[in-house]
Amino acid sequence: MMNSQRIRYVFAVAMMVLASGLMSQTVDFIPAGQLSTYSKYNINVSTASGIDGTGGFSFTGSLFANSTNYFVQISFDGGSTWHYIENASATDGQGTWIGSGMFRTSASGEMQIAFAHSRMTDLAAWPSSGTGTINLRLTTQDGNTKYPGASGEAFTLDLVRPTISTASITSNNSDNEWAKSGDAITVAFTSSENLSTDTDFDPSGNISGVAVTASGSGTSWSVANTVSTHSEGAATFNITYYDENENVGASALTATTDGSSVTIDMTDPTLTTSIASNNSTSTLAKTGDIVTITISASEILQVAPTVTIDGNAITPNPNTSASSYSIARTMQGGDTQGEIAY
C-alpha cells in the first residue's frame, strides 16, 4: 500500500511540474560546423559541411507537442519581417520536413532539421551585402507561440573578408631602413574593418621567419619582433589577420603600400687599411709631406668612418656611405715624431 501511494505521489508531482511549465520546450539553432553557443554566421560557417548541404543551420528541439506541425522562420532585419524557410532536411526519426517552412515533430515531440546556406540565399530578402543579422525562430501553426521567443535567436551575419588599407615597415635603428641584432622591426597597418582582438584570431605571422607579437585595436594594428635569428637582407613578412567575426583576410599581408623597407644586417663590417706618404720613401714623412690612409670595407658603410692622423681629425673622402675611403693630411712641424698614429 505504501509503495503504491509513493508511486501515485511521484506521478502527481511530475504532472504538477509539467503543468507549471517548468519542463518547457527547448530549441537550439546551430550554425553549420559549430557548437550551439556559437553566434556568428561567417564564411567558415557558410562553407562548412552540413546535414542539408553546405553551410546553413540545424535546429534541435524537445518537449514539443507530439507529431504536431510547426513553422521555422527567418528574419534579416532584426525580427521586423519574417520569412519561411522553403526547404530543409530532417534526420530520420527526429521529425519530418513537410515544406514551405513547415515540419512535424516526432512521436516523442522532438526534431532535428537542417537547412543549407542556399536555402537562405534563395530568399528574395537575403542581404546582398553579405552582412547584417539573422534571427531564427519556430512558431505554432496559428502563429501565436514563438520559440525561443518573438525575436527568436540572433546571429551576426558577416560574409565579407577584411582587407589591408595601408602598410609600412620600419626599424628602431638610428637609420630606420636598417636593422641589426637587438633592433626591433615593426610592420604597421590599417584594415578595411575592425579586426579581432580574440587571442585565437589576432594578427599573427612572422618577420623574416621569426614570430611576431601583435598590438592594436579597431582598424589600426602593428606586429613586431626583435632581430635575432632573422635571415639577413631585405626583411620579409607574412601576416594573417581576422575580422571581428573570425573571417580571415582576403590575402595575407606580405608587402608595404608606401614602398618602405628594412634591410637586416647582423654581420659586423671588416676594414682593410694602409698608410703611405708621398715622400720618395713612402714609409717616411717629413714636414710638408702628405700622408694618406686608404680604407677598404667588406661592405658598404652607412656613414663615413671617423678618422684621426696623429690626433688630428680628418674628413674622409668621400664623406658619405661607401666601401672605400681616402684620408690625407699634410704633416706639420709640431707633429709627433716616430710612427704615425691613426
pLDDT in tens, the chain (342 residues): 444 444 444 444 444 444 434 458 999 999 999 999 999 999 999 999 989 999 999 999 999 999 999 999 999 999 999 999 999 999 999 999 999 999 999 999 999 999 999 999 999 999 999 999 999 999 999 999 999 999 999 999 999 999 999 999 999 999 999 999 999 999 999 999 999 999 999 999 999 999 999 999 999 999 999 999 999 999 999 999 999 999 999 999 999 999 999 999 999 889 999 999 999 999 999 999 999 999 999 988 889 999 999 999 999 999 999 999 999 999 999 989 999 999
End-to-end CA distance of the chain: 117
Contact 116, 45 (CB under 8 A): no
pLDDT at position 19 = 40
Q: Which residues of the chain does CATH 2.60.40 include?
A: 164-264
Beta partners for residue 320, in sequence order = none
Distance of alpha carbon 6 from alpha carbon 179, whole angstroms: 83
Q: Which three cell numbers stand for residue 263?
A: 634591410
* CATH fold for domain 164-264: Immunoglobulin-like (2.60.40)
Note the pTM of the prediction, 2 decimals. Answer: 0.81
What pLDDT score does 23 carry? 57
Buried b (16+ CB within 10 A) or exposed e, 244-271: bbbbbbeeebeebeeeebbebbeeeeee
Cell 636593422 sits on residue: 179
The string of pLDDT tens digits covering residues 1-20 is 444 444 444 444 444 444 43
Q: Assess contact for 180 and 304: CB atoms under 8 A.
A: no
**Residue 272 pLDDT:** 95
Q: Which residues of 59-75 are buried (b: 16+ CB within 10 A; e: fewer)?
A: bbbbebeeeeebbbbbb
pLDDT, tens digit, 9 for 90 and up, residues 89-141: 999 999 999 999 999 999 999 999 999 999 999 999 999 999 999 999 999 99
Residue 323 near residue 303 (C-beta atoms within 8 A):
no
Identify the pLDDT of residue 24: 85
What local confidence, expressed as pLDDT, does residue 255 receive? Answer: 98
- Taking only Cα atoms into account, the Rg of the chain, rounded to an integer number of angstroms, comes to 38
Please identify which residue in the block is written with the cell numbers 513553422. Answer: 71
State residue 268's pLDDT score: 87
Residue 258: the pLDDT is 98
